[in-house]
Structures are given as structure tokens and as C-alpha cells.
Amino acid sequence: MDIRKVKKLIEMLENSSLNEIVIKEGEESVKLVKSAGSFQAPQKITPSPQVMESPSSETETKKETSETAETKVIDGKSINSPMVGTFYSSPNPGAEPFVKVGDKVSEGDVLCIIEAMKMMNEVKSDYNGIIKEILISDAEPVEYGEALFVIEE
């Protein structure tokens, strides 16, 4: 649901004598409740409790994963993502990956592609060495500065 629609609904609720509005649009729904003199944040209504539990457990899993990733000590030199985008280990779907764990690489060798805004950007090695670890799975989103590879010199 578009945030502009939600803002407009909030304005309409504030200016009306209604205390609550529930709007359904396709599978999405929003419940707005007016309290005495103030407004509560919109709440997303989900059709079943199972759907509601999945995002929270998924969020906890992501939080645990990020905590373990932060505490993990990297031996060797890391190659980090130069941008936000999607990580691709090969030039085309089904093609051999640019590098595998144990491959020897030279400075300037292409290690992967990061897709950002429909542009394919090659990530090249800054070091000579051996690929010790690939930290991201194919087609996974990456953040700026996130470690992608560990290279042992």
C-alpha cells in the first residue's frame, strides 16, 4: 500500500468523528485507530497468525546472522562491495563462477558482478593470492562495504 494513501487516510481519520478505519487493498490491509487526542501508528493486519510469526522469527534469524557475521574474525585480506546491489558469482545464470574457494587470483582479476540499477559492475581483486572464503551466496543482496571474499596472500 502506498504511504501517500496511508497519510491521506490518517488526515481523513483525524478530521472525522470516526475512531477506527480498516482498509483492505488486495492481500494488504491497514488498521488506523484514533485515541483520545492523539493518533496511533498504523498497524498492518495479517490474515493468519502464522504469517505474523514468520517475519519476527525471520528478523531474529537475520539479527543472529548479522551478529555472528560481525563477530567473525577474517584471516587474510577482504574484498568489500563497492556499492549496494545484488551479488552474482558468474557472468550468466548457469555459467561457471568467476572464482571458487582455492582459486589463485591476481590483482585486477574479476571476482564477481554487483548489479545496481540494472547495471552490471565487475568487482576486481585488489590483491594477489588464493580465495580462502566466499562470504556471499549467488543472487544475494549486498550492502556498501560488506565483505564479499577473503583472500590469503
What's the rounded Cα separation, in Å, for the pair 15 and 99? 61
Q: Report whether 31 contacts 22 (CB < 8 A).
A: yes
Tell me whether residue 8 is in a domain. yes
Per-residue confidence (pLDDT) for residue 7, from 0 to 100:
73
> What range does the domain containing 11 cover?
1-47
Residue-wise pLDDT tens digits, 53-87: 444 445 454 545 544 444 455 678 999 999 999 99
How far apart CA 123 and CA 115 sit, in angstroms, is 10
Q: Average of pLDDT values for 133-139?
A: 94
User: pTM of the entire structure?
Assistant: 0.52
Residue 68 within a domain: no
Residues 78 and 148 in one domain: yes
In a domain, 52, yes or no: no
Q: What is the mean pLDDT of the chain?
A: 78
Q: Are 58 and 52 in contact (CB under 8 A)?
A: no
Structural domain ending residue among the three candidates 10, 32, 47: 47
Task: Indicate the number of domains in the chain.
Answer: 2
Answer whether 52's CB lies under 8 Å from 59's CB. no
Look at residue 64 and tell me if it is in a domain: no
Q: How confident is the model at residue 50 (pLDDT cuts 50, 70, 90)?
A: very low
Same domain, 146 and 102: yes
